[in-house]
Amino acid sequence: MVSEQTIHGTILYGPELELIEGYMVIRDGIITEVAGERTDSKNIIAPCFVNAHTHIGDSVIKDPVLGKCVDHYVERDLGSLVQPPHGLKHRVLEATPRDELMEGMRRSVTDMIQTGTCAFADFREGGIEGILALKEALQGFEIECRILGRPKRINAGYDELCSEVERILMDADGLGMSGANDMDMHILGTIGDIAKSKQKILAIHAGEDCRGDIEKALSLDPDILIHLTKADRNDLKKVADVGIPAVVCPRSNFITGAGMAPVRDMLNSGIDVAVGTDNVMLNSVNMFSEMEFLSKIFGLEDRQVFIMCTLMGAAILGLDKTGAIIERNRAKVMILNGNSCNLAGIKNPINSIVRRGRPDDILSVII
């Protein structure tokens, strides 16, 4: 049976988010028509978020100790929190029963959908077992997920490591590596080459708390760089010259003490920039919060911020037919209540959603 749905309101249409007052028709999950028409509806129909970098595996840790408190200030220690193999995250993941990890992941996926996210890219630790657990956790959800795994047995022999990577890539969309300073570069190059030979994604953290691993990461010719918080203009020029997109995680960088990423310089260098919420142990998966940070603390233009958090994420992750509200694309939209107490009286939906939008303004999410 064909399902058809018509939604009225103000539509953020196409790649430029043109504002159209009218209606859109969704037929069997595909946008078949968008048309202008006078309407009394206060609905705002916007593309869903694409959360371009997460680690939902650590959803069981919500409030870790961030570091030592000195004179009311917490001295953050990123390494002790997340660095493999002995960071807090890895110790807790090892010690937590599988069913608790699964439930934590399912809760985070539900939270993502409820807060307007239609797709995400997850760096999945734990080798093949970690990937299979995430796939199982995703069962029954419509959300799209790019699973980027990583080998567990990095100190095993060459043949064993290669066969683990090949096995991972049978089930994952690519590799999500910790960082070029965390592993022998020869090994990293080898497993990166395996991903490339199979046309899979190679993504890696780089420049998160020092810029010393950016050059090394670039030498791997990755598809996506995560963070670049400490990148200087020369680094950004090199990244732009080779056309590698970046995913920034503003709230994560602040809570770990990494600081403020040069997002404005990235954009001015011509780098495609998407946004992620990073570890669930550090942040909620709520993309509205990232937008508010990017608008108010980074001072970026609101339309640009919204594109980074939605359409650019879809483009960087190669999510075909996901992203812009346009005929023949999949309908992945959130319908916001333009008459909520928070949004009533707004003049420009894009500025308003970016600066003050909240999950409780969402009436429904169609994915």
| Cβ-based nearer residue to Zn ion, 80 or 340 | 80
Q: What is the DSSP letter of 325?
A: B
Q: Which of residues 273-302 bind Zn ion (CB under 5 A)?
A: 278
Task: For the CB of residue 337, give the shortest distance to Zn ion in the complex, in Å.
Answer: 33
Q: Which of residues 162-191 bind Zn ion (CB under 5 A)?
A: none
* Residue among 289, 256, 288, 283 nearest 59 (CA): 283
Task: For the CB of residue 283, give the shortest distance to Zn ion in the complex, in Å.
Answer: 11
Residues 342 and 356 sit within 8 Å (Cβ to Cβ): yes
Q: What is the DSSP letter of 48?
A: P
For the chain, how far is it from start to end, CA to CA, in angstroms? Answer: 19
| Cβ-based nearer residue to Zn ion, 278 or 361 | 278
> How many residues touch Zn ion (CB under 5 A)?
1
| Cβ-based nearer residue to Zn ion, 269 or 283 | 283
Task: For the CB of residue 278, give the shortest distance to Zn ion in the complex, in Å.
Answer: 5
* Residue among 49, 91, 131 nearest 314 (CA): 49
Task: For the CB of residue 26, give the shortest distance to Zn ion in the complex, in Å.
Answer: 34
All residues at 6 or more sequence positions from 130 whose CB lies less than 8 Å from its CB, including other chains = 57, 124, 149, 152
All residues at 6 or more sequence positions from 300 whose CB lies less than 8 Å from its CB, including other chains = 263, 264, 267, 294
| Cβ-based nearer residue to Zn ion, 55 or 330 | 55
| Cβ-based nearer residue to Zn ion, 9 or 64 | 64
Task: For the CB of residue 24, give the shortest distance to Zn ion in the complex, in Å.
Answer: 35
| Cβ-based nearer residue to Zn ion, 209 or 278 | 278
Nearest residue to Zn ion, using CB? Answer: 278
Pure H helices in 172-232: 185-197, 214-219
What is the contact mask toward Zn ion in residues 240 to 279, using x (rule: CB under 5 A)? --------------------------------------x-
Q: Please give the structure tokens belonging to residue 242.
A: 């080779």
Which residues are near Zn ion by CB under 5 A?
278
